[in-house]
Amino acid sequence: MPSHRPHDPFPGAAIADQVRQHGIHDPRLLDVLARLSREKFVPPDERRHALDDRAIPIGQEQTISQPFMVAVMTQELALSGTERVLEIGTGSGYQAAVLSELASEVFTIERLVTLSLRARAILDGLGRTNIRYLVGDGTLGWPAEAPFDRILVTAGAPGFPSALFNQLIEGGILVAPVGDEFSQELTIIQKQNGRPESRSIMGCRFVKLIGAEGWSNP
């Protein structure tokens, strides 16, 4: 089991230290990771691994992402605290919890009802009031709430996410793993003069992004 005390104000200190050693330098992000208990988002039979720097199964063939990947993707969003952020793939809710501390509003979409409801229960229990939830096809975004300052995709996309890019403000940033079903490149896309400027920063492996502009549901 994780070694932190029941009322430890920094239950994620070990995670913050791990990602700092791997190059994460945003002080606001490191503080959020230190104060957030990843254990709360992990199934009971996996909680002994909550502080490990690896992805963990959460059921329905989905995972809670590796803490370092959460940190990298969040840091690349360059959040100042005023942004409206769209997250594709609520999953465990851990990434949304991180975003909710660093942005003004978080809009998170999950295609699996059970995961969405479970994540919301956890996040409501933590008192996170700036998160809105939608069950649906995340590849199509959330047109009724667009545009967004930032968009974060937490599943592997087979190609350029055009519907999501169209919901991004001018100058906004979209972070997504793009590649095949076995491996992707973590890609940073910024909208400049209405066009995408992209760069890849590292290899990664995520579960598949399922939907109209993603992979077909098997």
pLDDT digits (tens, 9 = 90+) for 13-37: 999 999 999 999 999 999 999 999 9
- Give the domain extent around 95: 13-204
Whether 154 maps to a domain, the answer reads: yes
pLDDT of residue 172: 98
Residue 1 has pLDDT above 50, yes or no: no
Q: Tell me: the pLDDT tens digits for 139-190?
A: 999 999 999 999 999 999 999 999 999 999 999 999 999 999 889 999 999 9
Query: DSSP of 11-35, one letter per residue?
Result: TTHHHHHHHHHTT---HHHHHHHHH
Q: At 119, list the tokens.
A: 């994540």
Q: Tell me: the pLDDT tens digits for 196-215?
A: 999 999 999 999 999 999 99
CATH assignment of the domain containing 94: 3.40.50.150
Whether 128 maps to a domain, the answer reads: yes
Whether 148 maps to a domain, the answer reads: yes
Whether 218 maps to a domain, the answer reads: no
Whether 2 maps to a domain, the answer reads: no
pLDDT of residue 187: 97
Residues classed as catalytic: 65
5 Cβ neighbours under 8 A, 6+ residues apart? none
Q: Contact at 8 Å (CB) between 151 and 171?
A: no
pLDDT tier, 127 (very low <50, low <70, confident <90, very high otherwise)? very high
Query: How many domains are contained in the chain?
Result: 1
Residue 114, Cβ neighbours under 10 Å: how many? 12
pTM: 0.94
Residue 54, Cβ neighbours under 10 Å: how many? 12
Q: Tell me: the pLDDT tens digits for 68-112?
A: 999 999 999 999 999 999 999 999 999 999 999 999 999 999 999
Residue 74, Cβ neighbours under 10 Å: how many? 27
Q: How far is CA 23 from CA 18, 26, 27, 77, 79, in A?
A: 9, 9, 12, 16, 17
Whether 7 maps to a domain, the answer reads: no
- The CA radius of gyration of the chain, in Å to the nearest whole number, is 16
Whether 44 maps to a domain, the answer reads: yes
Residue 124 has pLDDT above 50, yes or no: yes
Query: DSSP of 60-87, one letter per residue?
Result: TTEEEPPHHHHHHHHHHT---S--EEEE
Residue 64 has pLDDT above 90, yes or no: yes
Whether 189 maps to a domain, the answer reads: yes
Distance CA 129, CA 120 (A): 10
Q: What is the mean pLDDT of residues 114-125?
A: 98
Q: Contact at 8 Å (CB) between 15 and 53?
A: yes
Residue 3 has pLDDT above 60, yes or no: no
Distance CA 58, CA 45 (A): 10
